[in-house]
Amino acid sequence: MGANAVQPKSQLWFVPPGPGPRLGSTDGEQRWGEALPPARRQQYWRSRAALRQLVAPLLGQQPRQLPLHSPPGLPPRLPPGLGWVSLSHAAGALLIAWSSHPVGVDLESDDRRLAARALMQRFYPDPEQRQLVDLEGEPLRTAVLRSWLVKEAVIKARHSSLARELPLWWLDHASGSLHHVATDRVVRPLEGALPGWRWAAVGEAFRLQQPGPLTWHFEAG
C-alpha cells in the first residue's frame, strides 16, 4: 500500500489489563516471544496483537498481514507511507497510537511510586526545579510523574532515548508546554487521566476527535 493510502489523521487507544492471545500474531513475533521470560512473553504477544488489530483496519489490511516490524525492546515501526505507531505499557495496560506523522505516547499507573525529589534533582533542568522546589509529599510525586510522562512521550516521538534527552526537556507546569533547553523548541503534549492511569501523547499534527483515548478490549475467546 502506497503513501496515498495513509489518511491525515491520528488515533489513540487504551487497552485495560486483561487476557490476550497466548501466541504470537506472526511467525516472527512467535519466535521473538518464545525467547523472552514467560511474563514478558505474554506482555509482548498481547501488545503486538493489540497494535495489529487496532492499526490494520485504518490501513485497509488484515492484522496478520500488517507489515509491522516490532522485535522486543525496539520501537514498533511501519514501512514508509503507512504512518507511525507508538506503544506504551504499564501494569498490564496498553496505550497505542497511530498517526500520519511521528508520534510518541506514554502510560503510567496513577499511583506509581517514585523517589520524586531525587529524580527531579538528578534529571530535571533548573527552570523546572524552581517550579517544584517548594512541593512536598503527594503534590511533588504527582508533578514529577506528570513531567516524566510527557517527556517520555516526546522522546519517543523523536526516536531518541531517555538517557540522552531526559535532562534536556523541562515542563512548564502552568502552561503544560515542554521546552528543549538546547534548541528553545516548544512542544505542547496532549495529556489526560483515566481511572487509575495517566497518559500523554506527542506528535506533529497529532489531534484526536474525542477527549482522550478510545478504550478497546480483546474479544473473549
Q: Which domains does the chain have, with CATH numbers?
A: 9-102+207-215 (3.90.470.20), 112-189 (no CATH)
Average pLDDT in the 111-125 region? 95
* Contact (Cβ atoms closer than 8 angstroms) between residue 56 and residue 62: yes
State whether the Cα torsion 201-40-21-100 is positive or negative: positive
pLDDT at 8 over 50: no
- Give the whole-angstrom CA distance, residue 14 versus residue 12: 7
pTM: 0.91
- Give the whole-angstrom CA distance, residue 111 versus residue 182: 32
* Contact (Cβ atoms closer than 8 angstroms) between residue 146 and residue 110: no
Q: Which residue has the higher pLDDT, 8 or 161?
A: 161
Q: Which residue has the higher pLDDT, 5 or 126?
A: 126
- Give the whole-angstrom CA distance, residue 15 versus residue 92: 9
pLDDT digit string (tens) for 141-158?
999 999 999 999 999 999
